[in-house]
A and B are shown apart, each in its own frame.
Chain A
Amino acid sequence: MPKDSGIGASSKRREDVRFLTGAGNYTDDINIRGQAYVYFLRSDIAHGKINKIDTSDAEAMPGVVRIFTGKDFEGVGGLPCGWQVTDRHGQPMQEPPHPVLAQGKVRHVGDPIAAVVADSAAQARDAAEAIVVDIEELPAVIDMKSALKDGAPKVHDDLTSNLCYDWGFVEDNREAVDKAIKDAAHVTTLELKNNRLVANPMEPRVAVGDFERGTGNSTLYTTSQNPHVIRLLMGAFVLGIPEHKLRVVAPDVGGGFGTKIFHYAEEAFCTFAAKAINRPVKWTASRSEAFISDAHGRDHVTKIELALDKDNNFTAIRTETYANMGAYLSTFAPSVPTWLHGTLMAGNYKTPLIYVNVKAVFTNTVPVDAYRGAGRPEATYQLERVIDMAARELGVDPIALRRQNFITEFPYATPVAVEYDTGDYHATMDKLEQIADIAGFAARRKASEAKGRLRGLGINCYIEACGIAPSNLVGQLGARAGLYESATVRVNATGGLVVMTGSHSHGQGHETAFPQVIAEMIGIDESMVEIVHGDTANTPMGMGTYGSRSIAVGGSAMVRATEKIINKCKKIAAHLMEASEADIELKNGAFSVAGTDKSVAWGDVCLAAYVPHNYPLEDIEPGLEETAFYDPANFTYPSGAYACEVEVDPDTGRVTIERMMAADDFGNLINPMIVSGQVHGGLAQGIGQALLENCVYDENGQLLSASYMDYAMPRAGDVPSFEIDHSACTPCTHNPLGVKGCGEAGAIGSPPAVVNAVIDALNSGGKKVAHIDMPMSPARVWAAMQG
């Protein structure tokens, strides 16, 4: 019987009502009296030396308040990078400065050169057209391997080369891996590209800066997944504003997918300019501007080798990856191809020896950073593709080959530095085989063939590390931040609760799911709990939402704070009932004395805490408010098995997704409806990557896919209804809820399933096609079929 409230119930989302009635409060909906508008004049070339910026004509245009250039930011810090990677030789990565407005050089199309502040957005845009910029165009480096050649133009003149770092993991395994590959009975080698993507949350980025002269306080309203992180980075590293004089608010945010984690120049600009001109300053990105200023994702070029013994056991994996950093280091960029990618290369398999090499490269393109999954999709894709290819080469069943190599004992320490606490990969594969009706595939293939179509079935597994992350561990790995989460639980005198969380919802439904947990713990109605998030002024310092960490880390903090509340309530209840604290039980919203019929209601205990007339004042303080900071002991490891069935039209190369299936193990679920929604969204993004989406630069660094006319977003007709299951459940062993996180799984698990399915379809038609890079556009598929 499905529950109708509390943990495990598919409670309807309370936030929906405002979103469905046009009553949301997104950043662009915020207008402050007297605000001015900024328009950024951006570089239209990929690489150039700025000789002169003449703003005199523009300054005389109607409505112009002030025009800023890099000069105005000379005394101000650059945008900081939050993660330092150490290379194979023990040296720190090369870390170039990232100015708010270009200083001396532009390094990618979209690099901001000047900022025009005017009374209206239209006036600011008009005036920007009158700015005369004398730029000497320099040769640009776009392709990563060319960027590393001797004598290649340098993106940053002060660095020794375009190599950010050359990372080896685990460096001590290198020789043993080389030897295992040399000695292997079979080695499958695959070279592939993980295509560059743009996250494209539907709400473009917006920033509104405000400065209060009376108090000297600054406020920034911004489209962020983590307002506290922005406050820390911008306050401490860019503008030098102490945190108590700076408030950052991220109200309703229209999707993030990673790209709204990072601290961006426009945020610092609006905060800085508001003070400089003593007026609020607002910036709203157009979609075209988003394409050239939001951090991009993926963009790895990889060679992977999988070694097998004569019995088809995996013996070693060796990879070499080139990872594009773009022109500057975005906030968490260095961590994505390293610690979020190398550590996942064991996947679901007990391969004993693994070596991962990553060369991170500067190019004259938009910075690249985390996008849904961040590093984990790249790891999963190459691993699950190479396994599929090995199965094909060896003529064995791809599911059997996977099952044979599954990790089956937990905890399991991988050769790439992480320890999986729990999982059951056979169980998710069993579920998947049920959903997928593999036995019926042959008949479905026949039916497709009768229509002149090729049909393919692709299978794969995935594992991810989320619930990011133990602070001491990530500190050793180069993170310049802790990755705990926080919650303050405030109980009001009449028993209602407000939870102030450092976590942030931009679609994940915290306002509904978090109260379900508290309602379950106390035995009260969910409607008695309200969630406050997104404002540094009224939430404790927290690291925000990404890496599927909200419920695993933020939820755990909330549980800890609530436990403190309950413990205090038990003391109060014991006093009220003149019983021993050890005998007090909390059930269904009432405290009772074990073995008696004495009880006192939740609300009465809360009231006693605020009206402490009959109260143990000598032992405990009045009031009911507790804060907890939760630092996870380990990552969580959701896993699953995915399948895709495609039809390919051999005349056009067009691929249609006939079925998309997912069997996940997310541990315990708080709200299964929300979990399903997260998987659906991830699946569509994964299908987008596999078939449609591609961020393309020409050799001069012009972005060719810079609007929805050219960048193919998945639409309703591109995806099927999904068949998913998350009943396989091995609860996380180290957080109080036993939850693992579900936000990224769909986007991690689906691209290899789609590609494996297309390759299967083509090979069923008698063609020997080993691999096609994503996105598998009709042109690419058709070309592969002609080869």
Chain B
Amino acid sequence: MTKISMKVNGKEVSGEVEGRTLLVSFLRDTLGMTGTHVGCDTSQCGACVVHVDGAAVKSCTMLAMEAEGAEVATIEGQANADGTLSVVQQAFQDHHGLQCGFCTPGMVMSATALLKDNPKPSEAEIRHYLEGNICRCTGYHNIVKAILAASGQLEGAIAAE
């Protein structure tokens, strides 16, 4: 076991891990932050997406030790300081971009990363970017719509139909 430290959502954390411990199990099992989910074992589904030093990363595909000293952001840290939902989170609620909620943490983290790099993505760009995030519930329709809304491109704010 090795001791590692990193910053998660702005807070210093540390814990003991094995060499094989994945970042997602460090978050879920060691820190008890269960907002980040595991939906597969082949790095395909994106339920586990977090940000490491600002970049979207599948936390099931990174060893906890590799995140030593890094700044990690998870779904638990996305809301605004006053507790209100972030723009992306709020758009997901407004446009019914989630049903069972299991893919949602990864979707929100991916969408947030996308909008940082590309503040006004087209529908095609959004769909392409989400290639690594599987949702079985929504058929993606309202996820795409939520991201368009979060980027200010659904002017007149049509509610989810």
Contact = CB atoms under 8 A, between A and B. Distances in A.
B136 A673 contact: no
B88 to A, nearest CB: 9
Interface string B47-84: 10000000000000000000000000011101100000
A766 B143 CA distance: 39
A33 interface: no
A257 B135 CA distance: 13
Interface in B119-161: 123, 126-128, 130-131, 133-145, 159-161
Interface stretch (A133-141, A200-208, A319-327, A618-626): A200-208
A186 interface: no
A295 B100 CA distance: 20
Contacts of B38: 28, 204
A756 B114 CA distance: 36
A677 B76 contact: no
B101 interface: yes
Contacts of A204: 38-39
Contact of B36 (A22, A253, A673, A709): A22
A22 B142 contact: no
Given A20-B85, A254-B102, A13 B96 contact: yes
B98 interface: yes
B5 interface: no
Interface string B24-37: 00001000111111
A684 B40 contact: no
A16 interface: yes
Interface in A219-237: none
Contact of B99 (A10, A31, A681): A681
Contact of A202 (B28, B47, B89): B47
A716 B34 contact: no
A715 interface: yes
B102 A255 contact: yes
B42 interface: yes
B104 A722 contact: no
Contact of A722 (B34, B92, B103, B141): B141
B98 A20 contact: yes
Nearest to B101: A19
Nearest to B104: A19
Given A16-B92, A681-B99, A684-B140, A716 B131 contact: yes
A685 B136 contact: yes
B96 A676 contact: yes
Nearest to B147: A716
A22 B127 contact: no
Interface in B4-35: 18, 20, 28, 32-35
Nearest to A256: B100
Contacts of A254: 37, 100-102
Contacts, number: 192
Contacts of A21: 35, 75-76, 78-79, 85, 89
A677 B142 contact: yes
B160 A122 contact: no
A17 B85 contact: yes
A423 to B, nearest CB: 23
Given A20-B92, A201-B136, A202-B100, A673 B161 contact: yes
A15 B101 CA distance: 9
Contact of A252 (B18, B42, B101): B101
Given A24-B101, A677-B142, A203 B42 contact: no
A601 B47 CA distance: 47
B117 interface: no
B148 to A, nearest CB: 10
A683 B28 CA distance: 33
Best-surrounded residue of A22, A28, A29 (most CB of chain B within 10 A): A22
Contacts of B160: 10, 673, 676-677
Contact of A122 (B20, B32, B123, B131): B20
B139 A20 contact: no
B134 A715 contact: yes
Interface string A185-205: 000000000000000111110
A18 B92 CA distance: 12
A287 interface: yes
Contact of A507 (B37, B39, B89, B100): B100
A716 B140 CA distance: 6
Contacts of A24: 34-35, 101-102
Nearest to B143: A716
Contacts of B74: 22
A17 B101 CA distance: 10
Nearest to B124: A717
Nearest to B93: A16
A576 to B, nearest CB: 41
Contacts of B28: 28-29
Nearest to A684: B139
A84 interface: no
B37 A203 contact: yes
A720 to B, nearest CB: 9
A306 B159 CA distance: 44
B85 A673 contact: no
A681 B98 contact: no
A509 interface: yes
A680 B139 contact: yes
Contact of A681 (B79, B94, B136): B136
A685 B89 CA distance: 25
B99 A508 contact: yes
B31 to A, nearest CB: 12
A704 B36 CA distance: 29
B68 to A, nearest CB: 21
A673 B92 CA distance: 13
A715 B159 CA distance: 23
A724 interface: yes
Contacts of B33: 22
A254 B34 CA distance: 14
Nearest to B102: A254
Contacts of A73: none
Contact of A708 (B40, B102, B103): B40
A623 B145 CA distance: 46
Nearest to A15: B101
A431 to B, nearest CB: 14
A721 interface: yes
Contact of A22 (B35, B45, B131, B139): B35
A640 B103 CA distance: 29
Interface string B86-119: 0001001110101111111100100000000000
A24 B144 CA distance: 22
Contacts of B142: 676-677, 680
A580 interface: no
B103 A202 contact: yes
A286 interface: yes
A10 B95 CA distance: 10
A137 B34 CA distance: 42
Contacts of B93: 12-13, 16-17, 20
B136 A287 contact: no
A567 interface: no
B76 A22 contact: yes
Contacts of A20: 75, 78, 85, 89, 92-93, 98, 101, 104, 108
A721 B36 contact: no
A443 interface: no
Cβ-closest 4 pairs across A and B: A22-B35, A19-B101, A254-B102, A684-B139
11 contacts: A10-B160, A12-B93, A16-B92, A20-B101, A23-B76, A200-B136, A680-B138, A680-B140, A684-B141, A708-B44, A722-B141
Interface of A: 2, 10, 12-13, 15-24, 26, 28-29, 31, 122, 200-204, 252-255, 257, 286-288, 506-509, 672-674, 676-677, 680-685, 707-709, 713-717, 719, 721-722, 724, 746
Given A255-B100, A716-B128, 5 more contacts: A18-B101, A202-B37, A287-B39, A509-B99, A715-B130
